C-alpha cells in the first residue's frame, strides 16, 4: 500500500489487555450526534482511556494525553487518519482500483521525514501575504452572498445561502480553480465525510468513490494546465517548487523538494480539508451566539470581539470533535499498556470541556481569555495548515453578519440534524430570521 492516500481499513483489533472496555457506546449513536458533550465528559470521568468495542478504537479523552499523542509522532502515527472507519464494499473498491486513481499521502497521513519535506512548501502557500490578499476577497464575497440572502427575504436557510458556498470559493481561489467550476467540484465532495468517517450504504460508497475519482481526475488536469501556464496561486507556487527541486523524482531518499504526484495530491487533499469544517464552524458560531442575546449584542456593539468568539466556538462547539492515530510500537498511555497497531480516537469533545483545563467549561463565554487552549486544530507537526485561514473566514463572516443583520436570530423550534460521522460536526440545515 505504501503511501496510498486512502488505505483499506484493517480488521477490528481486540481490546488491549487491562484497558477498560465500553461495550455499548459509539460516536455514531443518535444521542451522541445530537449533543456529544455530556456523554463525552461522563465517559471521560469514568475512564480517561478506554476501549470502544463498537468502533474498535481506544478512546483518549484527557487533554494532556491527547497532546502527548500529537507530540510523539514516532510512537503515534497519523497514517490512519484518512482511512474509512468501516470496510468498503467490493463495488466501491473497484471504482477506486481504477489505474488512474493514484493520489499519494502528502500531509495529514504522511509519516516523517517526507511529511516535513512536503510541509515546507505547503506552509509557504498559507503565508501572511496570501492570507492578507484573500481577506479583502473574503469580505467582498461574504457581503455579496449576504446581499443575495437578504434579497430572498427572512427566514433563510443559512447553510445553503451562506456557509456552504463561501469557504469552498475561498479555498478554490487559493488553489487557483476557475470560479465556473465551483458547483461541480462541490458536488464531488458531497458525502466525502461519510467515506472516511461515517457508515455509508453500499450505494453511497460507490457514489462517493465515483466523486473522488472524478475529482482526482479534475485535480490532475488542473495541475497539468497550471504546469503549462502559471498564475498567482498556491498550485503555481507548488509547481515552481517542483521545477526547482523535484525531490523524490531525482532521488527516492531526497530530503528536499516535492514530486509532481505530490503536488497533485496536495491539491486533491486541501480542497476537501479546506471547506467542509469551515462551513460547520460558521454555523456553530451562530448556534452558540444567537440564543445568548447578551453575547450577540456585545459583538454588535464591538465587532473586535469576533476573533475570540470564533476561538471560543472552536473550544465549546468545534466543527471537528475527534481525530485518529495508530501506535507504531508498544507504549503506555494514561496508565494503559497499548500494543503496536492500536488505533486511537482522540476525543476533542471531552478535552475541550475538561474542568481542570478550562474554568466553567460548560459555559460559552466570548470573553474567555484562554479560549485558544482548545485542541480543535491538533498540535505538533501535523497542526492544521489552514487554522489561520479558517479563523479569518469565520471571523469575517461574523463581522459582516453582526454589522448588517444585528437582529439575526435562530428560527424557533427547528430540529437540527447532524450528519452521522465520528469527527465532523455542524448542522445540515440552519434556519435564521431577521427583522
- Three-class DSSP labels, 188-254: HHCCHHHHHHECCCHHHHHHHHHHHHHHHHHHHHHHHHHHHCCCCCHHHHHHHHHHHCCHHHCCCCC
Q: Does 41 bind ligand HEM (CB under 6 A)?
A: no
Contact pick of 40, 241, 273, 408 for ligand HEM (by CB under 6 A): 273
CA distances 155 to 51, 164, 409, Å, are 45, 17, 9
- Can you tell me the distance from the alpha carbon of 192 to that of 205, in angstroms, rounded to the nearest whole number? 9
Q: By C-beta, is 17 or 128 nearer to ligand HEM?
A: 128
User: Least distance from C-beta 63 to ligand HEM, angstroms?
Assistant: 14
Q: By C-beta, is 218 or 377 nearer to ligand HEM?
A: 377
Considering only the stretches 18-26, 271-279, 292-300, 413-421, report the one whose residues sit in contact with ligand HEM under the rule CB under 6 A. Answer: 271-279
Contact pick of 41, 68, 117, 119 for ligand HEM (by CB under 6 A): 119
In contact, 101 and 219? CB cutoff 8 Å: no
Q: By C-beta, is 325 or 409 nearer to ligand HEM?
A: 325
Q: At what angle do helices 293-301 and 387-404 cross, to 10 degrees?
A: 90
Closest residue by Cα to residue 109 from 132, 142, 84: 84
What are the cell numbers at 364? Answer: 460559552
**Residues 363 to 402 in contact with ligand HEM, rule: CB under 6 A:** 376-380, 382-386, 389-390
User: Least distance from C-beta 269 to ligand HEM, angstroms?
Assistant: 6
Pairing of strands 21-22, 49-52: parallel
User: Least distance from C-beta 433 to ligand HEM, angstroms?
Assistant: 25
User: Least distance from C-beta 115 to ligand HEM, angstroms?
Assistant: 6
Contact pick of 15, 95, 105, 107 for ligand HEM (by CB under 6 A): 107
Terminal CA-to-CA distance of the chain, rounded, Å? 57
In contact, 179 and 169? CB cutoff 8 Å: yes
Q: Which residues pair with 198 in a beta bridge?
A: 421
**Residues 50 to 89 in contact with ligand HEM, rule: CB under 6 A:** 70, 78
Q: By C-beta, is 285 or 331 nearer to ligand HEM?
A: 285
**Residues 301 to 320 in contact with ligand HEM, rule: CB under 6 A:** 318-320
Q: Does 423 bind ligand HEM (CB under 6 A)?
A: no
- Three-class DSSP labels, 375-388: CCCCCHHHCCCCHH
- Can you tell me the distance from the alpha carbon of 289 to that of 110, in angstroms, rounded to the nearest whole number? 37
Q: By C-beta, is 206 or 333 nearer to ligand HEM?
A: 333
Q: By C-beta, is 79 or 295 nearer to ligand HEM?
A: 79
Q: By C-beta, is 333 or 389 nearer to ligand HEM?
A: 389
User: Least distance from C-beta 109 to ligand HEM, angstroms?
Assistant: 8
**Residues 161 to 180 in contact with ligand HEM, rule: CB under 6 A:** 171
**Residues 135 to 164 in contact with ligand HEM, rule: CB under 6 A:** none
Contact pick of 63, 278, 366, 430 for ligand HEM (by CB under 6 A): 278
Contact pick of 277, 361, 426, 427 for ligand HEM (by CB under 6 A): 277
Q: By C-beta, is 379 or 404 nearer to ligand HEM?
A: 379
Q: Which residues pair with 21 in a beta bridge?
A: 51
Q: By C-beta, is 149 or 171 nearer to ligand HEM?
A: 171
Contact pick of 22, 61, 82, 108 for ligand HEM (by CB under 6 A): 108
**Residues 231 to 270 in contact with ligand HEM, rule: CB under 6 A:** 270
322: which residues sit within 8 A by CB, 6+ positions away? 27, 345, 346, 347, 348, 349, 422, 423
Q: By C-beta, is 46 or 123 nearer to ligand HEM?
A: 123
Question: H or E element: which one contains 431?
Answer: strand 431-433
Closest residue by Cα to residue 274 from 351, 189, 213: 189
Q: Does 281 bind ligand HEM (CB under 6 A)?
A: yes
Q: By C-beta, is 93 or 388 nearer to ligand HEM?
A: 388
Closest residue by Cα to residue 430 from 297, 282, 319: 282
Question: H or E element: which one contains 157?
Answer: strand 156-157
Binding residues for ligand HEM (CB under 6 A):
70, 78, 107-108, 119, 171, 270, 273-274, 277-278, 281, 318-320, 323, 376-380, 382-386, 389-390
Amino acid at each position: 500500500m505504501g503511501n496510498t492516500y486512502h488505505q483499506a481499513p484493517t480488521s477490528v483489533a481486540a481490546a488491549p489487555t487491562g484497558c477498560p472496555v465500553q461495550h455499548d457506546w459509539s460516536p455514531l449513536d443518535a444521542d451522541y450526534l445530537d449533543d456529544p458533550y455530556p456523554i463525552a465528559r461522563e465517559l471521560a470521568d469514568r475512564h480517561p482511556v478506554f476501549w470502544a468495542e463498537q468502533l474498535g478504537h481506544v478512546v483518549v479523552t484527557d487533554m494532556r494525553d491527547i497532546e502527548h499523542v500529537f507530540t510523539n509522532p514516532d510512537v503515534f502515527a497519523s497514517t490512519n487518519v484518512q482511512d474509512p472507519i468501516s470496510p468498503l464494499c467490493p463495488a466501491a473498491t473497484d471504482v477506486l482500483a481504477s489505474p488512474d486513481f493514484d493520489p499519494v499521502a502528502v500531509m495529514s497521513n504522511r509519516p516523517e521525514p517526507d511529511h516535513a519535506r512536503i510541509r515546507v512548501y505547503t506552509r509557504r502557500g498559507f503565508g501572511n501575504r496570501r492570507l492578507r490578499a484573500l481577506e479583502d476577497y473574503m469580505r467582498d464575497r461574504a457581503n455579496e452572498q449576504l446581499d443575495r440572502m437578504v434579497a430572498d427575504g427572512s427566514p433563510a436557510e443559512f447553510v445553503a445561502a451562506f456557509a456552504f458556498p463561501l469557504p469552498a470559493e475561498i479555498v478554490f481561489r487559493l488553489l487557483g480553480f476557475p470560479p465556473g467550476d465551483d458547483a461541480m467540484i462541490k458536488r464531488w465532495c458531497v458525502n466525502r465525510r461519510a467515506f472516511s468517517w461515517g457508515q455509508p450504504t453500499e450505494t453511497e460508497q460507490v457514489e462517493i468513490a465515483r466523486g473522488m475519482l472524478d475529482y482526482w481526475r479534475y485535480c490532475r488536469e488542473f495541475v497539468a494546465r497550471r504546469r503549462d501556464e502559471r498564475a498567482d496561486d498556491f498550485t503555481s507556487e507548488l509547481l515552481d517548487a517542483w521545477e526547482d527541486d523535484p525531490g523524490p523524482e531525482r532521488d527516492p531518499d531526497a530530503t528536499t523538494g516535492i514530486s509532481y504526484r505530490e503536488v497533485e495530491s496536495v491539491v486533491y487533499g486541501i480542497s476537501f480539508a479546506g471547506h467542509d469544517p469551515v462551513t460547520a464552524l460558521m454555523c456553530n458560531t451562530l448556534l452558540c451566539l444567537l440564543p445568548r442575546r447578551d453575547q450577540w449584542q456585545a459583538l454588535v456593539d464591538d465587532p473586535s470581539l469576533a476573533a475570540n468568539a470564533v476561538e471560543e466556538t472552536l473550544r465549546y462547539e468545534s466543527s471537528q470533535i475527534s481525530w485518529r492515530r495508530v501506535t507504531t510500537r508498544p507504549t503506555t498511555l494514561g496508565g494503559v499498556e497499548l500494543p503496536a497497531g492500536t488505533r486511537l480516537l482522540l476525543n476533542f469533545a471531552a478535552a475541550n470541556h475538561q474542568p481542570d483545563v478550562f474554568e466553567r467549561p460548560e459555559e460559552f463565554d466570548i470573553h474567555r481569555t484562554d479560549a485558544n487552549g482548545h485542541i480543535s486544530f491538533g498540535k505538533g507537526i501535523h497542526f492544521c495548515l489552514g487554522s489561520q485561514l479558517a479563523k479569518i473566514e469565520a471571523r469575517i463572516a461574523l463581522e459582516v453578519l453582526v454589522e448588517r443583520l444585528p437582529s439575526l436570530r435562530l428560527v424557533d423550534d427547528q430540529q437540527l440534524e447532524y450528519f452521522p460521522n465520528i469527527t465532523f460536526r455542524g448542522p445540515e440545515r440552519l434556519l435564521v430570521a431577521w427583522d
